[in-house]
Structure 1
Amino acid sequence: MSSKLLIATPLVAILLSGCLTNMNQNPISPDPSFGESTKYNAAVQVIDPDPVYAANGSQPGDSGAKGAAAVKRYRTDAVKQVEVMSTSSSAGGSSGPR
């Protein structure tokens, strides 16, 4: 039995060495492409933080109808007044911490 084990051990070691992906790298450290798919997916989902637009082109958030109406109000001195909104209400309950 020991002769079979002596023959099988090097054979198994040779077969398992074929599973190594990068023979020049330390087997303890991770593969250089580890996490590549996560980085790619994040890059695909992130909006370009510094987009380039044409100087005379429309910009994000532009609305032709709203812009034209605002210019017309400005030229006729009929600018809308700012609406004041309240974010609190007094719908009962306790008046705060005691």
Structure 2
Amino acid sequence: MLPGLTAALFLVAGLSACATTDTPPYMGGPDNFGEANRQTMMAQVIDPDPHYDTAIPETSGDHAADAVERYREGKVKQPERMTTTSSMSSGGGSN
């Protein structure tokens, strides 16, 4: 009985080597290939038909014309100076 059982095990092992899969097991199957790439691409696609509360932002043509005229004459309003970082120094040394 032992030689027949051994022969059956070798036969089963040999036949299992003939079984093939379409994709390697590390790819997760044919429907999962490239999913990360598709998700990344879709995260970058904008809405082709966006709906806003106001279709065109309110603007003032007179205000824009005054700004252009000031620019041409060299009378541009200087913006306020703002700092976004603060510098702190300490008196440290290294050996």
TM range (shorter): 0.3 to 0.5
State TM-score, norm by structure 2.
Answer: 0.45
